[in-house]
Structure 1
Amino acid sequence: MLVAGLAVALVVVVVAVVAVVRSVSGPEKTIEVSADSSLRHAFAALGEAFEEENDVAVDLTVGSTVSLTAPLANRYAADGADLGATPDVFVAADPITLYSIDYLLTGEPAVIAEDRLVIAVPAGNPGEVSGVEDLTEVDVAACVVDEPCGRAADAALASAGIELDGPRSADSASTLEAVTDGSAEAGLVLASEASGAGSKVETIELPWAEDRVTFPSISLLTGAPDPEEGQAFIDFVLSEDGQDILEEHGFRSAENPHLQPEG
């Protein structure tokens, strides 16, 4: 009886030690996710929630559209040799970006939410900006036209007959940084980007227009190292819990994103 009792105790100790080692070492699997910089706050939160629920870590890489898609587009050498690793999942600020690399996608991209262009100004709105028409009176930051935020910004400016002089920012993140560091009195950024700045900025909503709205989209990539877990992450982003996290970060629901909001 004593021997049996010791054996049971030993098993319990071993199981406990294994559990402790696993909790210290973290998740056994990791998926790679590349996302547009305007999505970084939301996808950091989505990654944490997914890891907690599935015990799968999310390694998030963010950047401008060009910086993320160029390595993928040039991934294969002329002889077909693979020149680099592929992320499991790619998240773009709009479907146009994903369609530019559609030959690397597995299936159709899924729209995950609706984002929109807003004017971000420093806290207190020192330039007294109230709409697009006021942007002729202040220093304005905007993205390059290769970026979704830049295309939306140009559409808004064109509607007001405004042309911006000077260099453009590389992406939505650097556009907002110009506002928060005082380099610009206003910035044309995506609402999700401005949401991540908290009390550092105030936002001015623009009248709804189709060309001022973007639809962040997600897809599994061909050659994904772990397609099963990658798809599970996509499913989580599209789930009710995932949508709640996106809405907390300034996005609108993807349930019917192409409908004009009321009001």
Structure 2
Amino acid sequence: MRTSPLTPRRALAALATVAVLVPLAACGNDGSGKGDSAGKGDSTELTVLAAASLTDVFKTAGKEYEKEHPGTKVTFSFAGSQELAAQVKQGAPADALVTADTRTMDGLKAETGKPVVIARNRLVIATGEGNPEKVKSLKDLTDSGLKVVLAAPEVPVGRYSKQVLDAQKLKVEPVSRETNVRAVLSKVELGEADAGIVYRTDAATAPGKVDAVDIPDSQNALASYPAATLKQSSHANRAADFVKWLRSDKAQKLLREAGFQKP
């Protein structure tokens, strides 16, 4: 069979065909993550914004998730829920969000998928090891000679703290108001405060450094932790899978072991 010589016109036509086919081939994954079903050897990094009180348990949970999902790496960014909400509204690149209250999550309906509660928590009074000031109840925090630290009211744990104190008609003047629960815990650990209100799970992360004084359930607040995908995610399917996994038996077992309550 005789072949026609490659004229300049035919050469240009061939190049045009290639230019069309290459983008179409790339459309198997358009970068939006809406259908991010990667093949073997592909890897995905999920960025999860999470409340500071989840720091320890989520580091463990992230490793377990990666074991169950080869090729997926989970990176966490921990902060107070109000800080995380600000990051989301500013368009920070992330795939999922977990806050320490439903109020913060509800304020982000335009930016998130449908949230699901993955855990609950309670408050305790954290004191120095051995409870040197003999703090026994919320009322003791009103002692003007006691250095008390609380989270700012914009922070979920700060709002919960105000809620329980107001319910008992107790007025506490803190020496400082912190931006997240771990900052409150740190002040007590370092001896910069005699007591502070934190989540039960946070006090449990500092054995030998702080004591936890229980607050009766009738005087306590129940904190809920909702998780949701972010609409700006580049890996929507995998982000949804991670949020769903947080309700799995394995993830729930890790949360129970860390002291969190059932959803």
Q: Structures share a fold, TM > 0.5? A: yes
SS of corresponding position for 1:222: coil
Instruction: Provide structure 2 residue ranges, at least 5 long, that are not aligned to the other structure.
Output: 1-40
Asked if the contact 2:141/2:172 (under 8 Å) is kept, the reply is no
- The 3-state SS of whatever aligns with 1:68 is helix
Q: Does the alignment pair 1:95 with 2:102?
A: yes
The two structures, once aligned, show a CA RMSD in angstroms of 1.7
Correspondence for 2:81 among 35, 56, 65: 65
Could you tell me which residue of structure 2 aligns to residue 51 of structure 1?
A: 66
Give the number of the structure whose residues are more often helix, by fraction: 1
CA shift digits 1:52-93 (9 cap, x unpaired):
111221100011123211122133xxxxxxxx52x1110000
State the distance in 2 between where 1:130 and 1:36 align: 28
Instruction: Report % sequence identity.
Output: 27
Moved over 4 A (4+): none
Q: Secondary structure of 1:223's partner?
A: coil
Distance 1:116 1:48, change over 3 A: same
Specify the code of the residue in structure 2 equivalent to 1:103: A
Q: 1:129: which partner in 2?
A: 135
Partner Cα separation in structure 2 for residue 201 and residue 228 of structure 1: 41
Contact 1:105 1:219 in 2 (8 A): yes
Gaps of 5+ in 1: 1-25, 76-83, 255-263
Shift of 1:140: 1.0
Equivalent of 1:33, from 34, 48, 70? 48
Judge conservation of contact 1:192–1:250 (CA < 8 Å) in 2.
yes
**Deviation at residue 211 of structure 1 after TM alignment:** 6.3
Partners of 1:27 and 1:57 within 8 A in 2: no
What secondary structure sits across from 2:115 in the alignment? strand
TM-score by length of 2: 0.79
The size of the alignment, in residue pairs, is 219
Q: Which residue identity does 2:84 align to in structure 1?
A: L
Distance 1:114 1:213 in 2: 7
Which TM-score applies when normalising by structure 1?
0.79
Counterpart AA for 1:216? Y
1:41 partner amino acid: D
Q: Does 1:74 align with 2:113?
A: no
